[in-house]
Chains A and B, each alone.
Chain A
Amino acid sequence: MRKFLSAKALIGLALVLTVVAVAILSPLFIAPERATQMVMSARLQPPSLAYPLGTDQLGRDLLARVMLGAQTSLMIAVLAVGMSIVLGLPLGIISGYFGGRIDNVLMRIIDALLSFPALLLALTISAVLGPNLQNTIIAIGIAFTPFLARIVRGEALRVVQMPYVEAARAAGTRDGQMILRHILPNIMPALIVQATISLAFAVLAEAALSFLGLGTQPPMASWGLMIQASRQFLDLAPWTALVPGAALAITILGLNLLGDVLRDVLDPRVR
């Protein structure tokens, strides 16, 4: 319990909750137009009273954009990680639970896929499908699947060997029941930890993809896009890069801290 109250946990939680709150609430308080409204006479303005975080090269309010951008970035990350779980969970469980040849074959394929850096996979898939919001989610989701499948498999293997699980199997429980009642609940903790850490990477991946021009599309206010657009104006107007960069850092930091804490609490191996 003490772990929940450590400074690290509190900060992590605070950061993540802030970002989530901004993501959920800001569309209610800030009209979406604020993020795309251009004021040509106020381009590349440094932070001021009228524009607390300054404006970008098309005169758009950075505060509005960065807050609404939270929604985009988080949504993409959540959906992408969700997708990797939907794809990777069954793969990992089947592999770990049934073992034997199925495991061998599946793991061979997963290992081959794991040799491709996730970002490279995401980039290639995005290039194949054409970069836009949905395809960014799909690209990141598919790219993260092998890693997740591997983790799930590892956990499933461990759980399958636990005494009471062996007992249940000896008692004749059907496979479906085994998986749902015994395997799944026991891998949940590790899965939650991994999902949190994956969220951090997904946010990072979306930013990188958008930065390379293979992610979200303008005039959407995603943080990666904002950094990409700021590339030209770095020494003229560094805040155009610093604002989304800081937002990214805060989010990723919060998620990492949270993941750390969750691991300390939930991961059975550390206990």
Chain B
Amino acid sequence: MKRREFLATSIIATGALGFGFGPGPLRAQEPVSGGTLIWGHSETTQNLDMHQTGTASTARVLQNIHDGIVTINSEMQVVPQLAESFEVSDDGLTYTFRLREGVMFHDGSTMTAEDVRYSFERLRDPETGAVNFEVFNDVDAIETPDDLTVIIRMSRANAPFLARLAENGAGVIMPAGSGDIQGDTPTGAGPFRFVRREFGNEVELVRFDDYWDGPAYLDGILAREITEPTVRLTGLRTGELHFINDIPAERIAEVEADPDLQVRTWAPLNFDFVNFNHNLELFQDRRVRQAFDLMIDKEMLMQGALWGQGDTTPTPSFPTDPARNSDIAQRAQDIEQARALLQEAGYAPGTLNVVFKVTTNYPYHVDSAQIIAEWARAAGVNMTIEQLTWADWLSQVWVDRDFEMTMMNFFTIWEPDRLYYSLYHSTGGFNYRNIADPLIDELAEQARGEVDPQARIDLYKRIQQYIYDESLDVVLWYRNGSIAAQPSVGGLDTVVHPNGSNLNFHKVWLDA
């Protein structure tokens, strides 16, 4: 098998994330240097240590401070970033990275293989508490034969390894020995340098003039944390903010029609799905799960909860993922059939009580739950909604797995192994639904070690079909992401990272 085919194992696709535009104001095309971009950020940043942080919000900001050894391009292919080139052996056991020369870190040092080794070893070390430490589970040894070469030897073939390294959380390169300060002063090799973070208020970044890929145009970025959507939008309109992310769904149409603002929407930002706790006898019966699937009119739910800002989908695979099974079609709503199935499973109308836990962290989940509850009632099910704060949801549903039904979204899981193994394998790290299906386990494990890209794709398609047939979850939709900016902001098309969530301002400028 040729190396090049293996390299493309992650994803080759013809399209990037689908982008949408509004009429927008006419603007100059020439980048100019200078200015500080004031960004109204929708979420609060948390732990600033790139290895330890698990939240999409912090990653969005840190994206500008850190570069990784590899990254993905808009076609979802793994391409070199801090590495100049890379090679994988035919048997998939040896990865060789040739590093770029003269890459500077924010602290003034130059990147060498030692920094790469340090970063990966730190990630691997359970003491660090790194979120992605399992990426390196199959790694035997990390060798640095010279200053610009890193060789990683695997104990067995791990097909998604390279793609995982393209995520900043795993592949980020920090200066050797900087682990202790990363929580206060994140330091990396990215286009912007960290200046300060005023807790809950704003994060200030300044241009790193020695960035290996050429200095950014902006002098700096001020990321002001404004969680209130109306306040954020108002701030943009009044000119207090240059740029905002996450426009409330019901406003997107209105903002798109506004000639004084630039807007970009894209799919997907994340996918959403409804979950069952498979430890409950109730949900071990496929008929019951399917009944709930049939209760939901996905298109109407999306109109209701997301104001149409999304695309329904029966499978959580990224739209541009070649491993996506496009032959599956979502089940249409059929309340009669749902009721019949429940009856068959032994639940006459009015006898089934279900508690649906949902988090206020995502208000559209709360709206969705209310709509689903209405349909459930029509199908003879008494559904009670429990609104949990994010902390409570994580505690009860994610950690304790104490729930009956719930719904959740996941950002940036475009890599199929990460998606299907973590979410559906019985030992998967994201498998809070207690799914323990031997067929899925077998397929996922096989896919992880499968070196032939086509065979891998087929395995994932089988998994998706199975998930659909068994209604293990009810996958709903991809949600659109959105950003909006003042007319003076240029380079808006370069901002959104291919993973659909992170934002990178390297090629953004402010008109004079």
**What residues of chain A have their CB less than 8 Å away from a CB belonging to chain B?**
36-38, 40, 44, 57-58, 127, 130-132, 213-214, 217-219, 231-236
Asked if B385 contacts A214 (CB within 8 A), the reply is: no
Asked if A36 contacts B370 (CB within 8 A), the reply is: yes
Asked if B374 contacts A218 (CB within 8 A), the reply is: no
Contact with A along B212-252 (1 / 0, CB 8 A): 00000000000000001110001000000000000010110
Contact of B385 (CB < 8 Å), options: A127, A218, A233, A235: A218
Residues of B within 8 A of A214 (CB): 389
Q: How far is the CA of A236 from the CA of B254 in the complex (A)?
A: 10
Q: How far is the CA of A223 from the CA of B366 in the complex (A)?
A: 17
Contact of A232 (CB < 8 Å), options: B250, B370, B373: B250
Known A-B contacts A36-B374, A40-B303, A219-B370; A236 and B387 likewise in contact (beta carbons under 8 Å): no
Residue of B nearest to A43 (CB): B304
Q: How far is the CA of A213 from the CA of B392 in the complex (A)?
A: 12
Asked if B230 contacts A219 (CB within 8 A), the reply is: no
A-B contact pairs, 11 of them (CB 8 A): A36-B374, A38-B304, A38-B370, A38-B374, A58-B304, A58-B367, A58-B371, A213-B389, A217-B385, A231-B228, A232-B248
Known A-B contacts A130-B392, A214-B389; A235 and B230 likewise in contact (beta carbons under 8 Å): yes
Residues of B within 8 A of A132 (CB): 386
Residue of A nearest to B305 (CB): A58
Residue of B nearest to A237 (CB): B250
Chain B nearest CB: distance from A68 CB in Å? Answer: 15
B360 at the interface (CB under 8 A from A): yes
Contact with A along B367-383 (1 / 0, CB 8 A): 10111011000000000
Asked if A236 contacts B250 (CB within 8 A), the reply is: yes
Q: How far is the CA of A36 from the CA of B360 in the complex (A)?
A: 19
Beyond contacts A36-B370, A213-B360, A217-B386: 10 other A-B pairs, Cβ-Cβ < 8 A, are A36-B374, A38-B370, A130-B392, A132-B386, A214-B389, A217-B387, A218-B366, A219-B373, A219-B385, A231-B230
Contact of B250 (CB < 8 Å), options: A130, A213, A233: A233
Chain B nearest CB: distance from A242 CB in Å? Answer: 15
Residues of B within 8 A of A44 (CB): 250
Residue of A nearest to B384 (CB): A217
B102 at the interface (CB under 8 A from A): no
B350 at the interface (CB under 8 A from A): no
Closest 4 CB pairs of A and B: A219-B370, A213-B360, A217-B387, A40-B304
Contact of A37 (CB < 8 Å), options: B254, B303, B363, B374: B374
Asked if A213 contacts B304 (CB within 8 A), the reply is: no
Contact with A along B457-493 (1 / 0, CB 8 A): 0000000000000000000000000000000000000
Residue of A nearest to B387 (CB): A217
B399 at the interface (CB under 8 A from A): no
Residues of A within 8 A of B369 (CB): 218
B352 at the interface (CB under 8 A from A): no
Residues of B within 8 A of A57 (CB): 250, 367
Residue of A nearest to B249 (CB): A232
Asked if A234 contacts B230 (CB within 8 A), the reply is: yes
Residue of B nearest to A60 (CB): B370
Chain B nearest CB: distance from A32 CB in Å? Answer: 11
Residues of B within 8 A of A236 (CB): 250-251, 254
B300 at the interface (CB under 8 A from A): yes
Q: How far is the CA of A40 from the CA of B302 in the complex (A)?
A: 11
Asked if A58 contacts B370 (CB within 8 A), the reply is: yes
Residues of A within 8 A of B250 (CB): 44, 57, 232-233, 236
Residues of A within 8 A of B304 (CB): 38, 40, 58
Known A-B contacts A232-B363, A233-B250, A236-B251; A38 and B386 likewise in contact (beta carbons under 8 Å): no
Chain B nearest CB: distance from A153 CB in Å? Answer: 36
Residue of A nearest to B228 (CB): A231
Residues of A within 8 A of B229 (CB): 232
Q: How far is the CA of A36 from the CA of B370 in the complex (A)?
A: 8
Q: How far is the CA of A131 from the CA of B373 in the complex (A)?
A: 19
Q: How far is the CA of A214 from the CA of B254 in the complex (A)?
A: 31
Residue of B nearest to A130 (CB): B392
Q: How far is the CA of A36 from the CA of B386 in the complex (A)?
A: 16
